[in-house]
A and B are shown apart, each in its own frame.
Chain A
């Protein structure tokens, strides 16, 4: 078994010490600090980028919030304008209608008055004619007439 050949122990130990020692120094002094720096820098950079991203996100959220507020305000405003307009138009229409109704009522009252007058007039005429007719008939039949009696008789019939 070559592993148990004691003659080879000395050179193996010497070279192991030498190679391992140099390797340890290179790792400890050069390689590992360098790798650590690179990894650290990357970690910092990623953290920074994440911070920036978070900042940008909160900015975006703010912008969205203010936009939502503005939108809600505009919507409320639009509502109130529409309501006002509707109210105003309703009021105008109501006033207009009341006006028209008033006019119409006045005209109806007028017309009724006129009809009444005409009717009274007509009835007055009917009495006169009836009195005249009764007077005339009485005259013809009796050769004498009493205008006042005829008027009384006609009034008595008419009422």
Chain B
């Protein structure tokens, strides 16, 4: 019996079990494990969902869009506006990346809301890989575009010389912590929400198992779960939005300094 089991009342329900990665097709390349796992499967499902929405739903190219085409166009306009508002004209060439990123995170989060599914974004390695890629990419863009002048990003304008060393250190630390805050925010939100749902599901089973008077009490955690599922869907969207918009802001910093 694990520690998690004891937390949920020792009912044999591990709220962390849903995050376990299990290989479906084991693949090994010279000692590197590249197995097709349940995580890989849900990544592929997210990609299939996005492609279905943006490629197949748009195949009609109707002048007056149907439901699915409307959703595809709405997503496009949403991300396009986000890039335009936060990065401006210079961000246009990065729009496909921001769009892919937003849709991938959104679909991963939303698919995670399905029962028995796997939330790929609830793994720190996935969100950290995305965040680190963004961090390195944005830094390279800034260095290539501004050269040495890129370092002025760490020196706010109109700063008294006395405060300079302190502020520059703070700015550098805050810049370096970007990939950590970006990845942990998404991962922690996803994991906490799903764990919470599992814990309360454990309460329901516990109450039903206890029988008698407790059977009626099971309605309370069920009601909580219904409400919390609604909140989780909001969080799933919001975190995808935050992830994408922070990427836009970092990109804007690198392109225009500030």
Chain A residues within 8 Å of B, Cβ to Cβ: 1-5, 7-17, 19-20, 22-24, 26-28, 30-32, 34-39, 41-42, 45
Chain A residues, Cβ within 8 Å of B43: 15-16, 19-20
Q: What is the CA–CA distance of A96 and B77 in the complex, to the nearest angstrom?
A: 89
Q: What is the CA–CA distance of A22 and B48 in the complex, to the nearest angstrom?
A: 11
The reply to whether A12 and B125 contact each other, CB–CB distance below 8 Å, is yes
Chain A residues, Cβ within 8 Å of B72: 35
Q: A8-B21, A8-B39, A11-B39 are in contact. Are A35 and B54 (CB under 8 A)?
A: yes
Chain A residues, Cβ within 8 Å of B73: 35, 38-39
The reply to whether B125 and A8 contact each other, CB–CB distance below 8 Å, is yes
Chain B residues, Cβ within 8 Å of A37: 61
Per-residue CB contact flags for chain B residues 41-66 toward chain A (1 = under 8 Å, else 0) read 00110110011001100100111010
Q: What is the CA–CA distance of A37 and B72 in the complex, to the nearest angstrom?
A: 13
Taking the nearest CB of chain A, how far is it from the CB of B37, in angstroms?
Answer: 5
Q: A3-B187, A11-B35, A31-B58 are in contact. Are A19 and B96 (CB under 8 A)?
A: no
Segment at the A interface, from B97-105, B146-154, B167-175, B199-207: B97-105
Other than A3-B19, A39-B76, give 6 A-B pairs with Cβ distance below 8 A.
A1-B16, A5-B21, A15-B34, A23-B100, A23-B103, A38-B65
Q: What is the CA–CA distance of A23 and B130 in the complex, to the nearest angstrom?
A: 14
Closest-by-CB residue of A relative to B29 is: A14
8 Å CB contacts to A: which residues of B1-46?
A: 16, 19-21, 23, 27, 32-37, 39-40, 43-44, 46
Which of B16, B40, B63 has a CB less than 8 Å from the CB of A12?
A: B40
